[in-house]
Structure 1
Amino acid sequence: MAALEDTNSTNFLGGQLIAAVGRDGNEQMFPLAWAVVKGENNESYEWFFKQLKMSIGEEDGHGMTIISDQHQSIVTMVAQEFPRAEHRHCARHIFANWHKTYKGEYMKMMFWSCVKAYNEADFTDALETLKEADPKAAEAFLACNPTLFCRAFISNHTQNDVIVSNMSETFNAYIINARSKHLIYMLEDIRTSIMKRLVEKKMDMEGSTHVVCPRVQERLEIEEDKASTCKVLPSKPTLFQVQDGIDGLTVDLEARTCTCKKWDLTGIPCSHAVSAIFSIHGHAEDYVSDHYYRYRL
């Protein structure tokens, strides 16, 4: 299932517009539910999450990933209504608070190096670099609980490496004109806009000639370009040792894993996996997770 994200925006008549925005197979916005409530409080979020739960037919959140800011009402309601869901915290919100104290482009780079590392070894290396630059900054980073927002620690069951709630900003930008209207007209404008969008996206996908969704194809082509620098040594028909610069990695095509963990987390073959696939004259598209295909196989 695509990652689920939460967003909010204020309506000029008062109250709060809150929404749950999913991510489709083309890695684009797929709004699931939206509603106007009194405010961002436990009562409003409890009502919204119960309605969302009934709408999507989820019982306990198993197989679901939710990304949100650290608003306590959201944290509480996710634990209450979707106890088995993976709840990631938005790294961008955490960075905004952390960066108020530890400023500068270098510190920014160090933060995101830690956050974007796909495996624990790379995370540890990035964290050590941060500690050398500023031990207190590293201590503050660890206090934010990296297991909730760093790629090295998030689950791969949804095969999505998203660690920011950028879909909420996409949804807010999409409805910006509607938000200036009277409540009833605003909601109707959002409904018809989303209805039209779903049809247009479906038509776009039907017009594509790729096996997988276009945006995923673009990501795959980037990995294919990187694969040219890798050296492949077969160990078994589906098991390979891949040398990428000074790094030696193991790729298992049958298990669809690579020790870099990027393929495991995204469902899209990394450059190491692509190099192994090419060595047996295979097609990288055949090894993409099936929820990225234009049509279910």
Structure 2
Amino acid sequence: MNLEHDCSVDQKLFWMNSTFMAQKYSNELRADPDWSVKGFTAAIQRDFGLEPSSQQIYRARKKACTLNKCDFVDQFHKLHDYCEELKKANPGSTVVLKTKMDSDQRRFHRLYICLDACKRGFIEGCRPLVGMDRAFIKGPHPGQLLAAVRSDGNNGMFLIAYAIVEIENKETWVWFIQHLIRDLRIENGHTYAFISDKQKGLSIAIAELIPNAEHRHCVRHFYNNFKGSHPGLTLKQILWDAARATTIPWWKCQMERMKMESEAAWKWLHPKPAQHWSRSHFKAHYKCDMLLKNLCEAFNSSIVKARYKPILQMLESIRTNLMVRMANMRVAAFKWKKSVGPRIEKIVEKNKVESGYCIPILSGDMKYQVTNMEGGQYAVDLGTRSCSCMR
């Protein structure tokens, strides 16, 4: 019995070499290039009941790296066929593959994708606020993944379009936004707002291509820049109060508080245009007072592992995640108890409770003077769906 066991172990050791381990675990090493020797060894012990030497592990990691690099290169050669198949399987989608000549070879340059379902979903059920963000692509062939994300009818994340570019700058953002404008049929910039972290060249690109659009800056990112030279909980609270203020008088009040607390902090904020970071200066017709680009962060979190994969696997991972999310949301929508989503329903119910403390007085055709419990008076126009409180 012991002899048979020893022969079995010898047979395993014969083919359990560094080449086999490299081929077996190349995907794991691609997803996590910093996979520790301890973790690699534990995986082999779990799967085969053997403990390889440290030298075998190091050789396997090196061979897997070589295999993965070859795989990365090979997939770029198949990219044109993938794009054609994507357009065939999703009629109406926009897939733009841009290449450039490098000596006598044609090389990949940029790729833009906007699936037909994303276009139609944008037009039929999304708010007019677009989050713009970028994420680093990992692996042997790094680059940047640009994305445009919107808020759907239930305040959830809805991906519109994404692109792979060589670097993040004004030129690549202009290229991305030009395609986005054509796909979404943006003709009047007054009807759109964008929110971002002030990425390199993005503000300039938006100002050039859609000069009338509102461009908001994520307040979390804004505060991170602020606290570097002006730390403290009090200043943080005042800054967020100023950002959340819905009327200009309330905003001015918070700015005076800031000046009294720290004149240096006030001077830092003073030249920063409030229309980029405070609700008090946002345009009201968007009906969306979002201050953070959490939707973009949610998308970036969903593609963390995909960014380590070769380009075709990365694109397929993004497409599959998007497809599954849409299918799940479609099923969930049939379970809605009301004509709006659960998140919106909670907001409506909260506002209904608060409205019980307000006294409306008719002042004209669909116009009211509303007084709250604190004595504040506001003008409400149901015809234009507006209120002077700006909420």
TM-score by length of 2: 0.63
| Shift in CA distance, 75/51, structure 1 to aligned 2, threshold 3 Å | same
* Whole-Å separation in 1 of the counterparts to 2:386 and 2:224: 33
**Could you tell which deviates more after superposition, 18-27 or 203-212?**
203-212
Matched, 1:87 2:188: no
What SS does the corresponding residue of 2:369 show, helix, strand or coil?
Answer: strand
Task: Return closer, same or farther for 1:205/1:137 CA change in 2, 3 Å cut-off.
Answer: same
Equivalent residues of 1:235, 1:241 under 8 A apart:
no
Q: Does 2:10 match 1:10?
A: no
Distance (Å, rounded) in 1 between the aligned partners of 2:189 and 2:268: 31
Q: Give deviations 1:55-112, integer Å, cap 9, x for gaps.
A: 2222453411111122341011112222232212222221111111111111110000
Give the match's secondary structure for 1:143: coil
Distance 1:255 1:191 in 2: 39
* Pairs within 5 Å for 1:2-151: 2-13=128-139, 14-59=142-187, 61-151=189-279
Q: Structure 1 CA distance, aligned partners of 2:379 and 2:272?
A: 32
Matched, 1:184 2:312: yes
Structure 1 residues 62 and 229, CA, compared in 2 at 3 Å: closer, same or farther?
A: closer
Render the CA deviation track for 1:101-149: whole Å, top value 9, x for unaligned: 1111111100000011011111111111111111221121122211211
Whichever residue aligns with residue 312 of structure 2, its letter is I
User: What is the alpha-carbon distance in structure 1 between the residues aligned to residue 280 and residue 326 of structure 2?
Assistant: 33
Within 5 Å, give how 1:209-220 maps onto structure 2.
Answer: 209-220=337-348
Question: Does the residue aligned with 1:87 lie in a helix, a strand or coil?
Answer: strand
Q: Which moved more, 1:86-95 or 1:99-108?
A: 86-95
Superposition map of 1:200-279 within 5 A: 200-235=328-363, 238=366, 239-262=368-391
CA distance in 1 between counterparts of 2:275 and 2:211 reads 17
Secondary structure, aligned partner of 1:207? coil
Higher RCO (CA 8 Å, separation ≥ 6 residues): 1
Which has the larger share of helix?
Answer: 2
The 1:35–1:259 alpha-carbon spacing in structure 2 relative to 1, beyond 3 Å, is same
> In the aligned structure 1, how far is the partner of 2:385 from the partner of 2:137?
46
CA-CA distance at 1:198 after TM superposition: 1.3
Q: Do the aligned partners of 1:60 and 1:81 also contact (CA within 8 Å) in 2? A: no
Shift of 1:38: 0.7
Provide closer, same or farther for how the CA distance between residues 232 and 94 of structure 1 changes in structure 2, counting only shifts above 3 A: same
> If you compute each CA radius of gyration, which structure gives the higher value, 1 or 2?
2
Where do 1:275-286 residues align within 5 Å? Answer: none
SS of 2:284 mapped into structure 1: coil
SS of alignment partner, residue 36 of structure 1: strand
Report the alpha carbon displacement of residue 170 of structure 1 after superposing the two structures with TM. 0.9
Does structure 1 residue 157 correspond to structure 2 residue 257? Answer: no
Once residues 307 and 144 of structure 2 are traced to their aligned partners in structure 1, the CA distance between those partners, rounded to angstroms, is 11
Aligned AA (2:350): I
Post-superposition offset of 1:236: 5.1
2:370 corresponds to which letter in structure 1?
Q
Distance 1:209 1:60, change over 3 A: same
- CA contact 2:238–2:258 (8 Å) conserved in 1: yes
1:20 corresponds to which letter in structure 2? A
250-259 vs 79-88, which moves further:
250-259
Whether contact under 8 Å (1:5, 1:20) holds in the other structure is yes
CA contact (8 A) 2:284 2:390 kept: no
- Cα deviations by residue, 1:240-262 (Å, 9 ceiling, x for unpaired): 33232232333333443322110
Equivalent residue letter for 2:178: K
